[in-house]
Copies of this chain bind each other. A is one copy, B any other.
Amino acid sequence: MNPQDRNESLKYYGIAEVPNLFIHGRTNWPNETKILPLFWNNSGVEVCTDGTELWITVECDYDQYEPWYAVEINGALISRSMLQPGENNICLFRGMSSGVIKRVFFYRDLQAMGQDDCCHMLVKGMYSDGDFFEVPKYDYRIEFIGDSISSGEGTYGAHDDMDWIPMYMSSSHNYINMISKKLNADVRIISQGGWGFYCSWDAVRANNIPRIYDQICGLAHGEYNHGLGADLSYDSSVWQADAVVINLGTNDGTGIATDPSLSIEDAEKEVTAFLKKLRTYYPKAHLLWVYGMLGYDINTNISRAVASYIEETGDTNVNYLTLPNTLEDEYGSRMHPGEKSHRKAADMISDYLKQKLDK
């Protein structure tokens, strides 16, 4: 007997059948398989239900980097764990009061994994003994584009831990999750540790986010992810962001400094080009570039490039802010920003966006 069979009142819903389902994250949906792929960090499903118990059926696999998930109930982080290969039946809650609505958010805590073609995470269905109600409206839609900071590297783990593994990455503890709560915002994350807007920390020119931005998930490679529609063109028409926050530059700085064949002048052009690209997807969104949580190496270059974009296009719905650097006692694991540093970034960005978007 499966655990979810103990409660005879539980009824299974294919994920496409769940009433009032709210889907988080950029993905290929609806699709013919009626199975929901979670490509990106913080992608997931949210429901409001009045039952006593709720399960989710998730399939996953990987060669090297296993996906992790997190569960929030009524906005509070309750559980976080590694997925196992194959079908995972995960109980999201049980034994709760019937007739009271619980708001439940299940999401992928791991970034898209370009380094593991097999890595995937799919939501197949839910078991519930209650009804599903509409998820309360979010006030804003915000897309975040970033690197390891936005992939939450270092937000879990002890100070001296240095392995580059999924366990130390998250969206449950990162600044984007905090902003989502502060602004009541539906957030999406497009991020890849080590990459930049122009090159990666190890000076690979092709490892830049703009190159893969046009696909649903240009970081999910291989046969299997192809089958999931990862490389389909991204259609922004159904989800128009109010703001796009680009938190990139740290890796570009490092990469350019180590490889003379890369050039900061070219990099500046890519800032401008990327802003133009984003504008095609989101004609009305406020574009906010932020930078600095791990130092200000190429601050002047980003600053100049954003200015060039404005001058060239006349588009003034853009801004550039430097964020507070991570102080010595604010590091998490992997020499990456810890909770205090993420909180300061969240405070600054959410304050800025609130005032900008409410105007």
Contact = CB atoms under 8 A, between A and B. Distances in A.
Interface of A: 3, 6, 64-66, 73-82, 84-86, 89, 91, 93-97, 156-158, 160-163, 165-167, 292, 295-296, 299-300, 303-304, 306-307, 310-311, 316, 318-322, 324-325, 327, 333, 344, 347-348, 351-352, 355
B165 A74 contact: no
A339 B105 CA distance: 22
Given A93-B167, A304-B304, A344-B344, 12 more contacts: A74-B160, A76-B156, A78-B80, A84-B91, A95-B166, A96-B165, A97-B162, A296-B319, A300-B310, A300-B316, A300-B320, A304-B307
A166 B64 CA distance: 33
21 contacts: A73-B157, A74-B161, A75-B158, A76-B333, A78-B156, A78-B157, A93-B165, A93-B167, A95-B165, A292-B321, A295-B355, A296-B319, A299-B319, A299-B321, A300-B318, A300-B320, A303-B304, A303-B307, A307-B307, A322-B322, A324-B348
B299 A320 contact: yes
A79 B76 contact: no
Copies in the complex: 4
A321 B322 contact: yes
A159 to B, nearest CB: 8
Nearest to A95: B165
B296 A157 contact: no
5 closest cross-chain pairs (CB), A and B: A304-B307, A74-B158, A81-B81, A76-B158, A321-B322
A133 B279 CA distance: 56
A124 to B, nearest CB: 17
A109 to B, nearest CB: 10
A295 B355 CA distance: 9
A232 to B, nearest CB: 30
Contacts of A157: 73-74, 76, 78
A6 B292 CA distance: 41
Contact of A161 (B73, B324, B344): B73
Contacts of A94: 66, 82, 165
Nearest to A3: B84
Instruction: Tell me the dominant secondary structure on chain A's binding face.
Output: mixed
Most chain B CB atoms below 10 A, which of A86, A316, A348: A348
A113 to B, nearest CB: 12
A351 B64 CA distance: 38
A63 to B, nearest CB: 9
Contacts of A156: 76-78
A185 B268 CA distance: 35
Contacts of A347: 324, 327
Contact of A65 (B65, B80, B95, B355): B95
Contacts of A163: 95-97
Contact of A307 (B96, B300, B333): B300
B324 A344 contact: yes
A32 to B, nearest CB: 29
Given A95-B163, A347-B324, A79 B80 contact: yes
Given A74-B157, A80-B81, A163-B97, A303 B320 contact: yes
Contacts of A84: 3, 89, 91
A85 B3 CA distance: 6
A36 B161 CA distance: 30
